[in-house]
Amino acid sequence: MLNMVELKEGLMLSKGAPKESISFSFEKGSLNKIPYSQKYIFNFLKLKDQALDKGEFFIEDYKIYPEENSEKSLFVLAVNSVVKFLMCFLVNKDEKKEKVQFVQSELITLREMPTTSDFEKNAKIAAIFDKILELSPSYLLADLNEEENRFNNELDHQLTRISDQINTIVLEEKPIDAIENNKVEYDEIIDLSIGQNTTSQYIKVQKQGEDFIIFDEKNGKKGFGRLLISTFKNNLMVFMSFLIPTLGIIAFSLLTPLYLKTENKFLAIPFIITIVICLFLYLLMTYKCTDFTLNYKQNKDKILSYFIINSIVAAVGGGLGIVIYILFKNFDNDLKALEGNNGIGIILAIVFALILLTANLYVRPLINPIVDKIKKKK
């Protein structure tokens, strides 16, 4: 398995990835090409904003996921000079800092090479790849859709040249009838440790994209209670984003019917607008956070833990909304002067509470078909 990067029956939790397990392997000896339709594989190998729910991931002969080796460490370096690509290095953990500095310093020596003419650009590309052969990364990634890389014959030649000695993987060009002007953004260095911290770092890296919720796999194996607590801690700010909209919806749905009975009827207008905005934000966040729920069989415990925490937060937000309503009713003279109960407001609050508490069950199934149709039209 040396000089190989391999995924066995892995379930990716990232945007665009299949909902079922997949396997792939790439090794040196020839140029490895990934069709644009399988861009999710290329994105996964960048080790950024990616996560695995199950399976085994190897680089060379070391198991990266689930964690197995505590002596090795990964770092990924992006090169953006005439051409653009990524290199992944697997090194001894105690040598990582020195290796990062060494690789950077070696590449920096090429920075001052001139690139005025096509001849000079090609010479610099050749020098960069000569240096790569010396540095010997575990694998190299190049996206042929990048502006710097497209129709670059010298880059094509160099990628093929080093593929006998370096595991070289390229993302093929997007079909001409579907080209978009979007670029891949690379961080200068992305650092993921192997071993004790691998799972938490590797799983938590999925914060961007559609997978908003972070789950700690290790705590999940220790029991549902541990999973529940870790899910709340890891996603505290996400769950808190449900609190304010819930508070606003409940408070203003209770207050609006009352203010319509007072001389300050105009206040009902901003109250109604606030309810609409808060409801939209709540449903949008629900859609963003529930992508993982589509894979019900694989994520039963995760779905249950998310639903429980989300319901508790919604209940707390609703309770705070009631507190605000009581404060208004007791300290606003116009409301204190009103007689009778607030039946309409109470009914509205109950209806909205039911909508919010059950949103996780219907938002994703209802909106997904609409989103899919829009994507197909584009």
Give the model confidence (pLDDT) of 38-53 as tens digits: 999 999 998 876 777 7
- Distance (Å) of CA 353 to CA 232, 246, 249, 357, 358: 21, 8, 9, 6, 9
pLDDT for residue 299: 72
pTM of the model: 0.52
Please say whether the beta carbons of 219 and 226 come within 8 A: yes
Mean pLDDT of the chain: 83
| SS3 call for 19 | coil
pLDDT in tens, 237-261: 889 999 999 999 999 999 999 989 8
Work out the percent of the chain whose per-residue pLDDT is above 70. Answer: 84
Calpha distance 138→26 (Å, rounded)? 11
Calpha distance 213→288 (Å, rounded)? 9
User: In the 8-state DSSP scheme, what is residue 175?
Assistant: P
Whether residue 267 is predicted with pLDDT greater than 90 in this model: the reply is: no
Calpha distance 49→184 (Å, rounded)? 12
Q: Please choose, from the candidates 222, 376, 378, 238, the residue with its C-alpha nearest in 3D space to the C-alpha of residue 301.
A: 222
Q: Please choose, from the candidates 125, 45, 37, 43, the residue with its C-alpha nearest in 3D space to the C-alpha of residue 84.
A: 125
Calpha distance 31→42 (Å, rounded)? 14
> How much helix, strand and coil, in percent to the nearest 5, is found in the chain?
55, 15, 30
Whether residue 97 is predicted with pLDDT greater than 90 in this model: the reply is: no
If one counts every other C-beta atom within 10 angstroms of the C-beta of residue 107, the result is: 17
330 or 300, greater pLDDT: 330
Whether residue 309 is predicted with pLDDT greater than 80 in this model: the reply is: yes
Whether residue 204 is predicted with pLDDT greater than 50 in this model: the reply is: no
User: In this structure, which topology does domain 4-208 adopt according to CATH?
Assistant: Rossmann fold (3.40.50)
Q: Please choose, from the candidates 203, 147, 208, the residue with its C-alpha nearest in 3D space to the C-alpha of residue 174.
A: 147
Whether residue 185 is predicted with pLDDT greater than 60 in this model: the reply is: no
| Per-domain boundaries in the chain | 4-208, 224-377
